A = this chain, B = another copy of it.
Amino acid sequence: QRRRPPQHAQARPVSASALQPSDTFPRRHNSATPADQADMAAACGFPTLDALIDATVPAAIRAPPMRFAGSMFDAGLTEAQMVAHMQRLASMNKAYKSFIGMGYYGTHVPAVILRNLMENPAWYTQYTPYQAEIAQGRLESLLNYQTMVADLTALPMSNASLLDEATAAAEAMAMCDAILRGKKKTFLIDSSCHPQTIDVCRTRAAGFGIHVRVVADDAAKGFGFGFDYSGGDVCGVLVQYPGTEGEVRDYAQLVKDAHAHGAKVVMATDLLALTTLRPPGEIGADIAVGSAQRFGVPMGYGGPHAAFLATSQEYKRLMPGRIIGVSVDSTGKPALRMAMQTREQHIRRDKATSNICTAQALLANMAAMYAVYHGPAGLKAIADRVHGLAATFAHGLKKLGTVTVQELPFFDTVKVTCSDARAIAKEAVKNEMNLRVVDANTITVAFDETTTLEDVDKLFKVFNNGKSVSFTAESLAPEVSSPIPSSLARESPYLTHPIFNMYHTEHELLRYLHKLQSKDLSLCHSMIPLGSCTMKLNATVEMMPVTYPTFADLHPFAPTDQAAGYHEMFDDLGDLLCKITGFDSFSLQPNAGAAGEYAGLMVIRAYHNSRGDHHRDVCIIPVSAHGTNPASAAMVGMKIVAVGTDSKGNINIEELRKAAEANKDNLAALMVTYPSTHGVYEEGIDEICRIIHDNGGQVYMDGANMNAQVGLTSPGFIGADVCHLNLHKTFCIPHGGGGPGMGPIGVKKHLAPFLPSHPVVPTGGFPLPEKTDPLGTIAAAPWGSALILPISYTYIAMMGSQGLTDASKIAILNANYMAKRLEKHYPVLFRGVNGTVAHEFIIDLRGFKATAGIEPEDVAKRLMDYGFHAPTMSWPVPGTLMIEPTESESKAELDRFCDALISIREEIAQIENGKADALNNVLKGAPHPPQLLMSDTWTKPYSREYAAFPAAWLRGAKFWPTTGRVDNVYGDRNLICTLQQASQATEEAAAAATA
């Protein structure tokens, strides 16, 4: 036999499209395949998905197809292309060693925390711990955080994080105002505070009618005597400890004086320094604020980081932000939960002094774990080393004699006067080091955990005009002693709780992290269909750049030419967001949704003022608005006029018209959420905008529901003037168990000049308008939490304009599909004119109160037994659940969730028809943790197996709640917000030790 000739190839042509990369992203993010889409649309009664969308989104506001004209991202990059692009941007950033200080310090993120917390979706995809029984892990960690802050500041009450140090100071200012019941309207700020802190307070003061006076330290009068209380109008003073230029001063006398004049004392401080310095609480401060960044959270070009606020027992109920507290569960065992939760979404509305909602939970957890890992002695060793390096540096400089070293005590920052500060800084940059140039003749050099002896040697050379010096830092050490006076040395212990003293090896910390993680439900387990929260996929490719060193390790005040990668991204992102929203410019500064609201209203305020309309201060807000809306309006000093909704959940247009016309001389703004918080595309939205404009007002759109707009319509198209985006909702920043988030604001052209800037690094809108007239400063960092912007950026870039548009359509499809399945079992509240819902919908549970004694909470807790997190509960309508599936959930997952709710409906029916006990049933008994289900005595009238495995899928793998139902009332009545010796963890440790 002869070799067979190669057989002729079949006519199987290669198609050009088959040669395109196959790792496209939208099919991984958007769940429904084309076949699914057709099926689900049919289930909803529509021939196609597009027909469903057309029936849902009002034609009047339907924008032409979205395209990113001229952008390489229009078609969407593949995952591989995206990674390559981000690596290129990363390589354009230069992570020079920072000695800038000013609230941002180099730190080593312990690798075990980096990998198992920061890079771990089981931590970062968690939701805010409203549902305590499936959140005991992060609740414990946040309690650790509060304990750490309370111990180090020596003030007993701490919250579970604020947005940044500067806004924390502003929150403290508002507290002082509130403590004094608004009767004293002057707030004094020492000039040794960080410039961004001063500016944020100054900006924030305006809306409260507080007069900020920045007081330069008057050397002639001694500390504290530059402060003048003579007007009798001072509610508080803010000092910084150590000061921004490093000075460590004794504030004892200042505190006495302030208190003698009825003023409260706020100290901005530094946790690392407090391991060595007498803490604020012992000096008599009323409130301490600061940033926990240097506890193992990367600088990230400005954020995100956890800020803290601690105060005395006296003022605890005025503390802003979320607070974790100890309570008990249904079996009487200690259990944690968010204290005073009712404050959260029903914030004191127009009486609010704070609008904070999303905070910095993930970063607070990182900082807390850093303290757990190092323990008190480890932190002290780090502090001593940083201090020792600073002291050695100062000593060496004196020896060199090229500059003059300040004589004040310092902790980590050395201040020098010199003949040419800029020349020295330039020499430093040549050596890949950044110094702070305070003025032409002043430099400060701040040391941190990452500084090495070799760095100090390099600095000596820099300060010696680039010439070698005759000594080394190491050789100097024996001659150096600490410049901190003994009167300011800390003597009290801290972090004495066992938790800070038992997890110091990597294995121990690894297991502690995993133990906590295993208690918390996250998107790794199941869908979290929280209405208004858009818990969509946080794809890994999006998360990867966050921990690239040259994104993570940049100081926000580093020369911008060292951040070219970041700035290319800012420019791109501003441009893309403008295209998506129909706006002309974006500010990337506000670092949460509520911060965006506040910033947006401040823009409107600045705009009116610029036109001489200082009197325009009325803000119309529908009653259905999120609590942050009125809170933000109150904070900018606006008067709130509420308008109601009609039976369909839509804004009552006639009422709105009347309100607008009645206030037309003073109308400042309308705040409106679109689609509405009721999950409906209101038909009248364009008219609403017109009414406001016709009456001299500006339209502020709350962009929380942007996930129902992208590619279909846009705030700009609809007629809004300004809008914030919750990048942690629509644009894929994970919720992190309660933060971080980002709330950039987009504006129309006429508002662009007023976008916030920054006192250290001037900034403004992207793109930058020709003329600028910034309203002030909104956040500590020029570009907010810059480190997480790559998440939204990569999402947009990989989805492309079509993928994003499809996402909106599928989000709407998924909601309608679920509503359709559920409407046979639960009343669905509110629909659009064609009977469809938007990207979320509300089911009404109010009837069950009467028929079965069942409250929404019972359904929420029972859902845990099915392995699910409850939807948004009793907001915006009490007695309901609001369900938002997002586009990332598969039909199988939607069905599973519907099955659970339908099964629960049957459980309710059992009560209604008397087959189950009205007080003692699976809903009232929920959730059922394993300890309960396995207890020897079982007295429930229903079966264990039915309690545990009410659905077939639970037998294969189930996420277990770890406590019985947590008692909120008990906890609020006995507010305990730090680790107790009798806490669960201690008990366990004790049990283990003695067993």
User: Given A526-B511, A948-B930, does the pair A14, B388 have CB atoms closer than 8 Å?
Assistant: yes
- Residues of B contacting A111 with CB < 8 Å? 79, 83, 539-541, 544
Which residues, 93 to 118 on A, are CB-close (under 8 Å) to B? 108, 110-112, 114-116
Residues A888 and B523 in contact, CB atoms below 8 Å apart: no
Residues B14 and A481 in contact, CB atoms below 8 Å apart: yes
Question: How long is the Cα–Cα vector from A73 to B373 in the complex, in angstroms?
Answer: 25
Question: How long is the Cα–Cα vector from A677 to B392 in the complex, in angstroms?
Answer: 54
Question: How long is the Cα–Cα vector from A122 to B385 in the complex, in angstroms?
Answer: 35
Residues A523 and B507 in contact, CB atoms below 8 Å apart: yes
Question: How long is the Cα–Cα vector from A407 to B8 in the complex, in angstroms?
Answer: 11
Pick the residue among B7, B121, B487, B988 that contacts A953 (CB under 8 A): B988
Which residues, 461 to 491 on A, are CB-close (under 8 Å) to B? 473-474, 477-478, 480-489
User: Given A507-B888, A508-B890, A936-B943, does the pair A485, B10 have CB atoms closer than 8 Å?
Assistant: yes
A15 sits at the interface (CB 8 A): yes
Residues B388 and A22 in contact, CB atoms below 8 Å apart: no
A453 sits at the interface (CB 8 A): yes
A28 sits at the interface (CB 8 A): yes
For the complex of A and B, 5 pairs with smallest distance between CB atoms: A7-B485, A952-B991, A111-B540, A3-B222, A16-B477
Residues A507 and B31 in contact, CB atoms below 8 Å apart: yes
Q: Given A19-B453, A31-B508, A952-B995, list of 6 further CB < 8 A pairs?
A: A10-B486, A12-B484, A14-B481, A16-B478, A23-B110, A116-B121
- Residues of B contacting A14 with CB < 8 Å? 387-388, 391-392, 477, 480-482
User: Given A22-B385, A108-B79, A992-B892, does the pair A9, B518 have CB atoms closer than 8 Å?
Assistant: no
Question: How long is the Cα–Cα vector from A90 to B962 in the complex, in angstroms?
Answer: 44
A913 sits at the interface (CB 8 A): no
- From A11, A381, A537, A889, residue with most partner B Cβ within 10 Å: A537
Which residues, 903 to 957 on A, are CB-close (under 8 Å) to B? 930-931, 933-936, 943-945, 947-949, 951-953, 955-957
Residues B936 and A8 in contact, CB atoms below 8 Å apart: no
User: Given A945-B936, A948-B930, A992-B895, does the pair A453, B888 have CB atoms closer than 8 Å?
Assistant: no
A552 to chain B, nearest CB (A): 12
A647 sits at the interface (CB 8 A): no
Which residues, 521 to 567 on A, are CB-close (under 8 Å) to B? 523-527, 537, 539-541, 543-544, 549
| Contact segment of A169-177, A438-446, A498-506 | A498-506
- Binary per-residue interface labels of chain A (363-399) against chain B in the complex, 1 for a CB within 8 Å, 0 otherwise: 0000000000000001001101101110110000000
Pick the residue among B4, B381, B387 that contacts A250 (CB under 8 A): B4
Residues A452 and B21 in contact, CB atoms below 8 Å apart: yes
Residues A481 and B948 in contact, CB atoms below 8 Å apart: no
Which residues, 114 to 137 on A, are CB-close (under 8 Å) to B? 114-116, 119, 121-122
- Residues of B contacting A18 with CB < 8 Å? 381, 384-385, 388
Closest to A536 in B: B507
- Residues of B contacting A253 with CB < 8 Å? 1
Pick the residue among B122, B896, B958 that contacts A514 (CB under 8 A): B122
Closest to A503 in B: B890
Closest to A83 in B: B111
Residues A22 and B505 in contact, CB atoms below 8 Å apart: no
Question: How long is the Cα–Cα vector from A787 to B410 in the complex, in angstroms?
Answer: 47
Residues B936 and A944 in contact, CB atoms below 8 Å apart: yes
Which residues, 447 to 469 on A, are CB-close (under 8 Å) to B? 449-450, 452-453
Residues A957 and B952 in contact, CB atoms below 8 Å apart: no
Residues A957 and B8 in contact, CB atoms below 8 Å apart: no
A2 sits at the interface (CB 8 A): yes
A182 to chain B, nearest CB (A): 33
Residues B392 and A482 in contact, CB atoms below 8 Å apart: no
Task: Spell out A's residues near B (CB within 8 Å).
Answer: 1-4, 6-16, 18-23, 27-31, 79-80, 83, 87, 108, 110-112, 114-116, 119, 121-122, 219-223, 225, 250, 253, 378, 381-382, 384-385, 387-389, 391-392, 407-409, 449-450, 452-453, 473-474, 477-478, 480-489, 502, 504-508, 510-511, 514-515, 518-519, 523-527, 537, 539-541, 543-544, 549, 888-890, 892-893, 895-896, 899, 930-931, 933-936, 943-945, 947-949, 951-953, 955-960, 962, 984-985, 988, 991-993, 995
A548 to chain B, nearest CB (A): 11
Question: How long is the Cα–Cα vector from A862 to B744 in the complex, in angstroms?
Answer: 55
User: Given A13-B480, A485-B6, A510-B523, does the pair A378, B453 have CB atoms closer than 8 Å?
Assistant: no
Residues B537 and A507 in contact, CB atoms below 8 Å apart: yes
A599 to chain B, nearest CB (A): 32
Question: How long is the Cα–Cα vector from A14 to B388 in the complex, in angstroms?
Answer: 6
A460 to chain B, nearest CB (A): 14
Residues B482 and A12 in contact, CB atoms below 8 Å apart: yes
Residues A944 and B953 in contact, CB atoms below 8 Å apart: no
Residues B80 and A450 in contact, CB atoms below 8 Å apart: yes
Pick the residue among B9, B452, B949 that contacts A484 (CB under 8 A): B9
Closest to A932 in B: B934
Question: How long is the Cα–Cα vector from A526 to B19 in the complex, in angstroms?
Answer: 48
- Residues of B contacting A936 with CB < 8 Å? 943-945
Question: How long is the Cα–Cα vector from A753 to B481 in the complex, in angstroms?
Answer: 59
Closest to A541 in B: B111
26 chain-A/chain-B pairs, Cβ below 8 angstroms: A7-B250, A7-B485, A11-B481, A12-B482, A13-B478, A14-B391, A15-B388, A18-B381, A19-B385, A19-B389, A19-B473, A20-B385, A79-B108, A80-B108, A111-B540, A111-B541, A511-B526, A514-B524, A514-B525, A519-B957, A931-B949, A931-B955, A933-B934, A934-B948, A935-B945, A956-B988
- Residues of B contacting A8 with CB < 8 Å? 485
Closest to A217 in B: B3
Residues B892 and A502 in contact, CB atoms below 8 Å apart: yes
Closest to A958 in B: B930
Closest to A539 in B: B506
Residues B478 and A518 in contact, CB atoms below 8 Å apart: no
A533 to chain B, nearest CB (A): 16
User: Given A890-B505, A934-B933, does the pair A988, B952 have CB atoms closer than 8 Å?
Assistant: yes
Question: How long is the Cα–Cα vector from A483 to B407 in the complex, in angstroms?
Answer: 82
Closest to A510 in B: B524
Question: How long is the Cα–Cα vector from A951 to B988 in the complex, in angstroms?
Answer: 10
Question: How long is the Cα–Cα vector from A992 to B486 in the complex, in angstroms?
Answer: 68
Closest to A106 in B: B80
Residues B121 and A119 in contact, CB atoms below 8 Å apart: no
Closest to A513 in B: B524
- Residues of B contacting A388 with CB < 8 Å? 14-15, 18-19
Closest to A395 in B: B14
Closest to A988 in B: B956
A91 to chain B, nearest CB (A): 11
- Residues of B contacting A510 with CB < 8 Å? 121, 523-524
Pick the residue among B481, B888, B995 that contacts A899 (CB under 8 A): B995
Residues B540 and A524 in contact, CB atoms below 8 Å apart: no
- Residues of B contacting A2 with CB < 8 Å? 222
Question: How long is the Cα–Cα vector from A518 to B933 in the complex, in angstroms?
Answer: 20
Question: How long is the Cα–Cα vector from A960 to B488 in the complex, in angstroms?
Answer: 51
Question: How long is the Cα–Cα vector from A7 to B899 in the complex, in angstroms?
Answer: 72
- Residues of B contacting A23 with CB < 8 Å? 108, 110, 449
Residues A453 and B20 in contact, CB atoms below 8 Å apart: yes
- Residues of B contacting A543 with CB < 8 Å? 115
Residues A507 and B384 in contact, CB atoms below 8 Å apart: no
- Residues of B contacting A890 with CB < 8 Å? 505, 507-508
- Residues of B contacting A223 with CB < 8 Å? 3-4
A274 to chain B, nearest CB (A): 17
- Residues of B contacting A893 with CB < 8 Å? 507-508
Residues A115 and B540 in contact, CB atoms below 8 Å apart: yes
Residues B931 and A935 in contact, CB atoms below 8 Å apart: no
A810 to chain B, nearest CB (A): 11
Residues B108 and A115 in contact, CB atoms below 8 Å apart: no
- Residues of B contacting A474 with CB < 8 Å? 16, 19
User: Given A9-B482, A22-B381, A250-B4, does the pair A537, B222 have CB atoms closer than 8 Å?
Assistant: no
A925 to chain B, nearest CB (A): 14
Question: How long is the Cα–Cα vector from A477 to B389 in the complex, in angstroms?
Answer: 65
Question: How long is the Cα–Cα vector from A7 to B117 in the complex, in angstroms?
Answer: 44
- Residues of B contacting A514 with CB < 8 Å? 122, 524-525
Closest to A12 in B: B482
Question: How long is the Cα–Cα vector from A890 to B483 in the complex, in angstroms?
Answer: 39
